[in-house]
Amino acid sequence: MKIVFTGGGTAGHLFPILAVIRELRNVYPGTNLKIYYAGPKSHRGKVLLYQENVKIVNILCGKIRRYRSFKNITDILKVPLGIIQSIFWLFFTAPDVVFSKGGYGSFPIAVASGFLRVPFILQESDITPGLTSKVTSRWALEIFTSFPDTEYFPNDKTICLGNPIRLSLLNGSKAKAKELFKLNNKPLLLILGGSQGSQTINQLILEILPDLKKFEIIHQTGIANQKQTQAEANVVLTKEQKPFYHCFAFLNESQLKNALTASDLVISRAGSGAIFEIAAAGKPMILIPLIGSAQDHQAKNAYKIAELGAGEVIEEQNLKPHLFVQRVKSLFGSPEALTNMAENSKIFSRPKATTVIANYLKEYLT
């Protein structure tokens, strides 16, 4: 039995794929299952999937940027080449099913699966599907969505299950977090800027650090921003504050699950992967959508969370340091509001999505 997973090269696509692969191996421990990942070259993807004994195939993928760039011209040429490459590779691999997470990186394999009539299953994380998901949904056997009222897809083959998350994230410990991060007893803010980090959020936190003396902070900055952020924080922070500020380029799985469990409020971008991981931990959140995200999906994701009472939204154009500090302090001044947000977050999360999808794939394969 063979299954091919495909998706864009960002963590938002890779982590759900990783989650489903792990659970698929758990529900089907047979030795005759061969798992492949086909998509754009990604160092992080290579490291993550290699550890799961997944065969990785790099496919040429073209990305259409929503701004003027010479790469838009060169990437258009990659698309037909990637499709041809995918057709030949899929033909000789002969998988039983292709599972797509969407994103530009999935397009060549998805098109090849349609051309060769290989059963194709799509999972869409965002409330507004991207262009690739809209196109490839036409020949999808099933479409699994994460948000209620996901736009565009036909009802007759769409099932809302929630977003698959790494189930290990449900096993965090406050005691372990205290040990890992050397935490004290202050309310804990967890700052997540997405897999690439967010310079906007980093700058905001640096500006308001002096006003957050009552809080402890775990701050994921992104690999490219960590050294600069830490250096600037060292200048801003008083000697008394420094032990309460913990700056990381990237939180690994163990660090993230324990930080989520110990946190009292999470401040994050509004990618669906982050939202569902925060929600599964049952945490209140303040979401800051990325301006210019494809189809404006981050803003739509965020406002759906606010509508469900699981968090609040502050858009970048309204991201004023003084007002942001007042909002955070106001939430902690109203414990009942934080508790309600946490409860609604947990209700929304649907952590069983990973197991349901893995069992569906097992039943299909067998």
Residues facing residue 57 across a β-bridge: 38
Fold identical between 2-165+351-365 and 168-349? yes
- To which CATH superfamily is domain 2-165+351-365 assigned? Glycogen Phosphorylase B; (3.40.50.2000)
Q: From CA 116, how far away is CA 26, in angstroms rounded?
A: 30
Q: How many residues does the chain have?
A: 366
Is the pLDDT reported for residue 250 higher than 70? yes
Q: What is the pTM of this model?
A: 0.92
The predicted structure's pLDDT at residue 65: 56
Asked whether 285 and 311 are in contact (CB, 8 A), the reply is yes
Strands 158-160 vs 2-6: parallel, antiparallel or unpaired:
unpaired
Burial class (CB in 10 A: 0-12, 13-18, 19+), 337: middle
The predicted structure's pLDDT at residue 297: 87
The predicted structure's pLDDT at residue 71: 63
Which of 84 and 197 is assigned the larger pLDDT? 84
Task: Read off the pLDDT of each residue in 60-78 and give the average, rounded to a whole number.
Answer: 68
Q: From CA 142, how far away is CA 238, in angstroms rounded?
A: 55
Given CATH 3.30.70.1450, say whether it is the number of domain 168-349.
no
Q: What's the mean per-residue pLDDT of the chain? A: 92
Domain range summary for the chain, segments of one domain joined by +:
2-165+351-365, 168-349
Asked whether 340 and 280 are in contact (CB, 8 A), the reply is no
Task: Read off the pLDDT of each residue in 101-128 and give the average, rounded to a whole number.
Answer: 95
Tens of pLDDT, residues 25-50: 999 988 899 999 999 888 878 888 98
Q: From CA 200, how far away is CA 193, in angstroms rounded?
A: 9
Q: From CA 115, how far away is CA 91, in angstroms rounded?
A: 10
Burial class (CB in 10 A: 0-12, 13-18, 19+), 321: middle
Asked whether 227 and 140 are in contact (CB, 8 A), the reply is no
Task: Read off the pLDDT of each residue in 127-141 and give the average, rounded to a whole number.
Answer: 94
